[in-house]
Amino acid sequence: MSVMAFDSDAGRMAERDAHWMAAALRRAARNTGRTGANPSVGCFIVASGADGRDAVVARAVTAVGGRPHAETEALDMAGERARGATVYVTLEPCSHHGKTPPCVNALIAAGVSRVVVSVTDPDPRVSGRGFALLRQAGIEVVTGVLEEEGERALDAYLRRQRQGRPLVTLKLAVSADGMIGRLGDGQVPITGPQARARVQTWRARSDAILIGAGTAVADDPLLTCRIPGMQHRSPHRIVLDKRLELPVASKLVATARDVPVMIVTGKRPSDAETDPRSADAVAALARDAARAMRRAALEAEGVEVVESDPDAPATLLTTLAARGIASLFIEGGARVAADFLAAGLVDRIALFTAPRVIGAGGIAAPVTRDHIPEGFALSASRMLGQDRLDLYERAL
């Protein structure tokens, strides 16, 4: 049981609330990227003892897959000790019936005296309603505690709720001469081990990772999380592949049954509007037949093939959001990066700059430290070995 002493003066209440909310936010971070369509929420239940000291009687985070919610998990742990206690939760408790009863009902039934929340849930089924029900039950409700930190922790979920699309992070590793690789050389190491380890952490915290077909064919990457003990946190892998060029023998396809792979491809070309006996019509039919065979071979290995316009990133993001994907990590392809930037669909840029020089034949980076797209501001900068990481963000 954790304890912490606070002055009884009412003026210390804000400090007390901020302390426990910070603890709840740290707890929430444990399952970021692992809770499916639901956000990863942290919850602490804190009781006040006769000596004026606070005691944590339960702490929880939304379970892997999204159920159970943090509040119900914490209440189950606390049992009768929840009666009269204060609940700290990073997102407004749900008030609608879904696969499980509302968390608001559980909080009321448990007899808690106070609920402190960081962020109001923008879901129209919940927004403000959870607070109203708690207050109607005589429970004190405090909102907006560490709200900025809470918005940052829940940014992917909030983006999907408010804009109907995932939060998009673009990662680029750029050489000292502004290149991201070299034509015809496949994968060219640019950054060092510390920077690459940071990328693995991002993969573990993302719902999905996306690359273009050119990168997939040239580099033959796995795109899994390689942090020891965290391989199970590998994200869904998505390839923009208009012509279904991904080889069946690729590493992505070979591991599709272990870690999901989705190929986003263009719709089947329509038959030539000419005499069906013409050379053009025969060629079109042959292309369609070959495409159908490639698709069947990929699907036989467990790959999901989705027909959409790979050149319309907004449509793709809407499709992903509908599938519960709230965070997307773009990791490969100058064309893909440029398309998402041009469409205004990148929310964060993780820019790694390395001392290595690529030289002749290099592929120019769409973003460098000297050329940052309008609307982005530097939010953090640090050295990782010899490499520099600059994180740029667009306002939520």
> pLDDT by residue (tens digit) across 111-130?
999 999 999 999 988 989 99
- Output the pTM of the full model: 0.84
**CA separation (Å) from 250 to 136, 230, 246?**
58, 23, 7
Judged by average pLDDT, the poorest of 39-53, 322-336, 356-370 is 39-53
Q: What amino acid is encoded at 339 in this protein?
A: D
Strands (E), the chain: 3-5, 42-48, 53-61, 86-91, 114-119, 140-142, 167-174, 179-182, 208-212, 236-240, 261-265, 304-307, 327-332, 348-353, 362-364, 377-384, 387-393
Can 71 be counted among the known catalytic residues? yes
pLDDT at 359 over 60: yes
pLDDT at 261: 98
- Taking residues 137-159, what's their average pLDDT? 95
- Taking residues 206-225, what's their average pLDDT? 94
pLDDT at 392: 97
pLDDT at 216: 94
- Taking residues 382-394, what's their average pLDDT? 96
Alpha carbons 138 and 136: distance in angstroms, whole number = 5
Q: Which residue has the tokens 């060029």?
A: 245
Most confident of 4-8, 52-56, 386-390: 386-390
Mean pLDDT of the chain: 90
pLDDT at 249 over 60: yes
Alpha carbons 284 and 282: distance in angstroms, whole number = 5
pLDDT at 200 over 50: yes
Q: Which two tokens stand for residue 30?
A: 């444990």
Contact 84, 110 (CB under 8 A): no
- Taking residues 158-178, what's their average pLDDT? 95
Hey, CA dihedral for 134, 139, 144, 146, is it positive or negative? Answer: negative
pLDDT at 234 over 80: yes
Using the 8-state DSSP alphabet, how is residue 92 labeled?
P
pLDDT at 52: 72
The total of other beta-carbon atoms located within 10 Å of residue 4's CB is 13
pLDDT at 187: 72
- Angle between the N-to-C axes of helices 129-136 and 103-110, in degrees from 0 to 180, rounded to the nearest 10: 20
Alpha carbons 371 and 285: distance in angstroms, whole number = 46
pLDDT at 34: 84
Query: Which positions ≥6 away from 266 have C-beta within 8 Å?
Result: 242, 243, 307, 308, 309, 310
pLDDT at 53: 85
- Taking residues 79-91, what's their average pLDDT? 97
pLDDT at 2 over 80: no
User: 2 or 12: whose pLDDT is higher?
Assistant: 12
List 71, 92, 331, 393, catalytic entry? 71
Alpha carbons 377 and 71: distance in angstroms, whole number = 35
pLDDT at 324: 87
**CA separation (Å) from 106 to 48, 57, 82, 176?**
21, 16, 11, 56
pLDDT at 329 over 90: yes
What is the set of domains in the chain, with CATH numbers?
3-153 (3.40.140.10), 165-393 (3.40.430.10)
Hey, CA dihedral for 213, 218, 220, 226, is it positive or negative? Answer: negative
> pLDDT by residue (tens digit) across 29-81?
999 888 888 999 999 999 986 667 899 999 999 998 888 999 999 999 999 99
pLDDT at 278: 61
User: 396 or 206: whose pLDDT is higher?
Assistant: 206
Query: Which positions ≥6 away from 171 have C-beta within 8 Å?
Result: 199, 202, 329, 330, 331, 350, 352
Q: Which two tokens stand for residue 1?
A: 């049981």
pLDDT at 137 over 70: yes
Question: What proportion of the chain, given as a percentage, has pLDDT over 70?
Answer: 92
Q: Which two tokens stand for residue 106?
A: 């559980």
pLDDT at 271: 42
In sequence order, what are the beta bridge partners of 212?
Answer: 240
Q: Which two tokens stand for residue 226?
A: 């390689």
